């Protein structure tokens, strides 16, 4: 009996234990909710909105050219070059002698002109003497004709004798007119010879090739023994005042933003970076390439070589404002937005953007200084998402 009683108690205790276990077991419907509440927040990299300086630039490329190139040629053609005094790279002043030409031919022409001038002066003197003689003959003929008139009226002179005296007076008058015209011809010939002499003297005074302006000789084509020809290539090319510019090309879509006087930074191959300013913006755009031309003045710098390749950037706008990375801005149908972090929750905020410099962009409205925004915004984050902000590394 005792054994049976013990077995019954053990069975009863086992049944009670199973019942208690069933009662203490948690409900299966509550398990997922507890798991969701225990899930950790997603980590995101954030940056702080801060004030920064912005400078919007336009990139250009091109070659260096002289701001003003002076072409120097001979004023007298056909003369042989006897001496060259300037070479490429030399700085010259206005009035410096660059080359000399032979003057022997001009000296011979001047000697011939001297003889022609002497003949013209002698012809003029002879013409004056002829006028004096013609005036004397005319006076004598007029007096004889005057005496013949009363004699003819009194009947003491025949008609034939009277006609001879009248004809003599008219002939003397014609001879005087011819003598005077001869003097005019002689004076004209003398003036022509004198004009030729002035030209020869001018040509002889131009046997030296003179620099018309200060600058740097960029090219020399004159050679000793060669003949000077003004219609061919110039003997010298001079960069006026040594001033060099970047002749650059720019897309027509950015040309409207470029203005005269805007600062520019130019990187020249082999010479480093130099500063300049926009001097000229071409009013024409090439129809084939859709590119416009701008000229950036770089000044007188001996390290700059005409024809060298260069690239530069023109500062078209500048200002101060709130800055965020370009990657923090999302562009959609409603415009640009940024994902703001408030109390570890994502809040999508519509913003207004402005200038951009490098990897940063200006925010003109929608954010405040000190706000935290997602450094790399994306569609995987939505309004209200719980996140764990991690500050981005700064260089």
CATH number at residue 230: 2.40.50.100
Q: Tell whether 352 is covered by a domain.
A: yes
Q: Which residues are paired to 62 by β-bridges?
A: 248, 310
Q: What pLDDT is stored for residue 336 in this prediction?
A: 86
Picking from 166, 134, 126, the residue whose alpha carbon sits closest to that of residue 148 is 166
Q: What pLDDT is stored for residue 38 in this prediction?
A: 43
Euclidean distance between CA atoms 217 and 240, whole angstroms:
9
Q: What pLDDT is stored for residue 394 in this prediction?
A: 57
Alpha helices in 25-90 (DSSP H): 31-37
Quickly tell me which residue has 């003398």 as its tokens: 190
Q: Tell whether 180 is covered by a domain.
A: yes
What is the number of other CB atoms lying within 10 angstroms of the CB of residue 301? Answer: 15
Q: What pLDDT is stored for residue 278 in this prediction?
A: 93
Q: Tell whether 385 is covered by a domain.
A: yes
For residues 281-306, average pLDDT: 90
Picking from 38, 105, 114, 57, the residue whose alpha carbon sits closest to that of residue 78 is 105
Q: Residue 55 has which token pair?
A: 């400078």
Q: What pLDDT is stored for residue 381 in this prediction?
A: 76
For residues 279-294, average pLDDT: 90
- Top pLDDT among 324 and 38 is at 324
The reply to whether 287 and 359 lie within a common domain is no
Q: Tell whether 373 is covered by a domain.
A: yes
Tell me which range, 175-189, 284-298, 378-392, is most confidently predicted by mean pLDDT.
284-298
For residues 323-336, average pLDDT: 82
The reply to whether 314 and 324 lie within a common domain is no
Tally the domains of the chain: 4
Q: Tell whether 4 is covered by a domain.
A: no
DSSP 80: B
The reply to whether 256 and 136 lie within a common domain is no
Return the CATH number at 348: 2.40.420.20
146-163: pLDDT as tens digits: 888 887 787 777 888 878
Check whether 18 has a pLDDT greater than 80.
no
39-96: pLDDT as tens digits: 467 787 888 888 887 777 888 889 999 999 999 988 888 788 888 999 998 999 998 9
Q: Tell whether 25 is covered by a domain.
A: no
The reply to whether 188 and 121 lie within a common domain is yes
Q: What pLDDT is stored for residue 33 in this prediction?
A: 44
Residue 169: give the domain boundaries: 104-204
The residues, any chain, with a CB within 8 Å of residue 209's CB and separated by 6 or more, are 72, 73, 74, 97, 98, 99, 100, 101, 222, 228, 235, 236
The reply to whether 85 and 172 lie within a common domain is no
For residues 288-309, average pLDDT: 90
The reply to whether 260 and 192 lie within a common domain is no
Q: What pLDDT is stored for residue 13 in this prediction?
A: 58
The reply to whether 135 and 264 lie within a common domain is no
Q: Tell whether 23 is covered by a domain.
A: no
Return the CATH number at 286: 2.40.30.170
Q: What pLDDT is stored for residue 36 in this prediction?
A: 41
* Chosen domain end from 187, 216, 236: 236
Q: Tell whether 16 is covered by a domain.
A: no
What global pTM score does this model have? 0.57
Check whether 217 has a pLDDT greater than 90.
yes
Euclidean distance between CA atoms 200 and 210, whole angstroms:
18
The reply to whether 120 and 186 lie within a common domain is yes
């Amino acid at each position: 009996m005792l054994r049976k009683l013990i077995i019954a108690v053990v069975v009863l205790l086992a049944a009670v234990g199973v019942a208690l276990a069933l009662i203490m077991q948690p409900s299966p419907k509550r398990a997922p909710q507890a798991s969701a509440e225990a899930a950790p927040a997603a980590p995101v990299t954030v940056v702080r909105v801060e004030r920064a300086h912005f400078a919007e630039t336009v990139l250009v490329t091109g070659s260096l050219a002289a701001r003003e190139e002076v072409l120097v040629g001979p004023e007298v053609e056909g003369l042989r070059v006897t001496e060259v005094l300037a070479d490429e790279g030399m700085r010259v002043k206005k009035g410096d002698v660059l080359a000399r030409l032979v003057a022997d031919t001009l000296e011979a022409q001047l000697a011939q002109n001297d003889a022609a001038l002497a003949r013209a002066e002698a012809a003029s003197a002879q013409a004056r003497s002829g006028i004096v003689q013609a005036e004397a003959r005319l006076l004598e003929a007029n007096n004889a004709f005057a005496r013949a008139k009363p004699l003819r009226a009194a009947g003491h002179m025949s008609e034939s004798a009277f006609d001879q005296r009248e004809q003599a007076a008219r002939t003397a008058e014609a001879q005087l007119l011819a003598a005077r015209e001869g003097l005019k011809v002689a004076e004209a010939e003398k003036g022509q010879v004198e004009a030729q002499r002035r030209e020869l003297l001018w040509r002889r005074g131009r046997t030296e090739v003179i620099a018309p302006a200060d600058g740097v000789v960029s090219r020399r084509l004159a050679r000793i023994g060669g003949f000077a020809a003004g219609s061919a290539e110039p003997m010298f090319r001079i960069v006026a005042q040594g001033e060099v510019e970047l002749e650059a090309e720019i897309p027509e879509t950015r040309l409207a933003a470029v203005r005269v006087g805007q600062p520019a930074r130019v990187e020249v191959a082999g010479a480093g970076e130099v500063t300049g300013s926009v001097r000229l913006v071409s009013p024409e755009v090439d129809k084939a390439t859709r590119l416009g031309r701008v000229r950036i003045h770089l000044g007188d710098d001996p390290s700059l070589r005409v024809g060298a390749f260069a690239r530069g950037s023109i500062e078209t706008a500048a200002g101060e404002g709130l800055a965020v990375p370009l990657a923090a801005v999302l562009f959609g149908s409603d415009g640009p937005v940024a994902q703001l972090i408030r109390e570890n929750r994502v809040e999508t905020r519509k913003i207004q953007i402005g200038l951009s410099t490098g990897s940063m962009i200006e925010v003109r409205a929608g954010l405040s200084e000190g706000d935290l925004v997602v450094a790399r915004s994306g569609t995987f984050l939505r309004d209200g998402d719980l996140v764990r902000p991690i500050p981005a590394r700064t260089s």
